[in-house]
Structure 1
Amino acid sequence: MIDLYLANTPNGLKLRLFFEESGLEHRRIKVDLGKGDQFKPEFLAISPNNKIPAMVDHDPADGGAPLSIFESGAMLLYLAEKTGRFLSPDLRGRTETLQWVFWQVGGLGPMAGQNGHFAVYAPEKIPYAINRYVNETNRLYGVLDKHLGQGHLAGRDFIVGDYSIADMACYPWIVPHEAHGQKLEAFPNLKRWFETIAARPATIRAYDGVANTYAPTKPLSEAERALLFGQSAKR
């Protein structure tokens, strides 16, 4: 059994996609970010960076004590290796897949995340910041669009041959494209890829009942804003 700690953010939804696709037995544990669950000692023991997702595998392959893991990219890699799925055993396929996973965790996620923050959550609209991150998100969309339309796999359905953890990593960060100021019509290869994944039964299950992260039902309170965006080393 695996305990999965998450909220329905793009990074949390990466893991929901993996578990829905794999059918791996797990238990979901909601982390209420607005109430500060991420700062509870029991959660910090699993995720010292006080971020979701995180998980505890009570049956690791080495037969030892329960193993806790944080960082969504590391979690996807761990689960792929545990199940033997969604990551090619071939050297070149594995390497290409991991390149795109790291591209997402190092580029697409952080840039799109800052895009959403300054466009939606920031208490004041700062044109320079909004333009900076909208443009960088656009550039990254272009990188993936070009990749999906060129080379020996031109017109490919997925990022690296078969559906993989690279697709699971990237897809949730494309879902909020409208909030991020992007139009998929401008990226035909990306749009095709996105629609292919959106139609997968596991994707439909993973997103069932999930609200739009960038469409809050009510304004954030000052306490919520401080918890989500006002942290320092001293909290």
Structure 2
Amino acid sequence: MKSMLNRLLCGLLGGGLLSVAVATPQAVALSENELLEKFSAVPVFVVADASGDYVTSVVDLPNDGEGNVSLLRVFFNEADVLTFVDQVRQEEPQFNQGGAVGVIDLATVHRLAQEERDVPLKLIFIPQEDDLAAARALDSNFGGNTASSLVPLFALQDGSGNYLPLSLGGDNGESMFSMFFSKQDADSVLNSVQQSNPDLTQVTVGVVSLAALSGNVLSSDDEAFERIRFLPDSEVINHIQGLNLE
């Protein structure tokens, strides 16, 4: 099993899945900065030019009422962004002169989009195709009309659809509501937890969009949202660690 997931499972299996069903989180009115702090653990990929500036395209999107906007495409794995770079290079050969893939975090791109500029920056999230397909298999109505509404998050839930906290182990008995960007990671955790706790037959993997969860976090007042953590795809984390980035 992937190394990051192994570390996670050590905590889960040490303390076990909490047996108390907890209502679907509806956050402790976290501030936007607090939410972004949670996003800072999530790596994303963008395209940069030879000067290190992010590569964007200026367009006038129909029916948005914003006029010209600068689109920054944000990818959740390297393979997708490399495919995009190849397409750009075929259309614009001059891009071969120093263009590269950059790794930043989800909080940083959100802050970039909030900066005042002559042409507003709009984020276009490109979720992994397999995870998006898995989300739609779980919920045929998954998705929406914003970029972040197409980014799926997977979580363990009980038979009533309530999210379940996962124990981090240790003496303090801390538990967190884990939101996985990878369906495969969520399935692996579920399988391991059920092997350790055979009675948990009603526990399944559910899906919610990044947009929907973020909106709830910022508008609700349930303390459970303080305990949400975002878990990036472990394959992406292992790959980034192998790059020896400074």
Higher normalized contact order (CA 8 Å, seq sep 6+, divided by chain length): 2
TM-score, length-scaled by structure 2? 0.27
Higher helix content, 1 or 2: 1
Higher strand content, 1 or 2: 2
TM-score, length-scaled by structure 1? 0.28
Q: Which has the larger radius of gyration?
A: 2
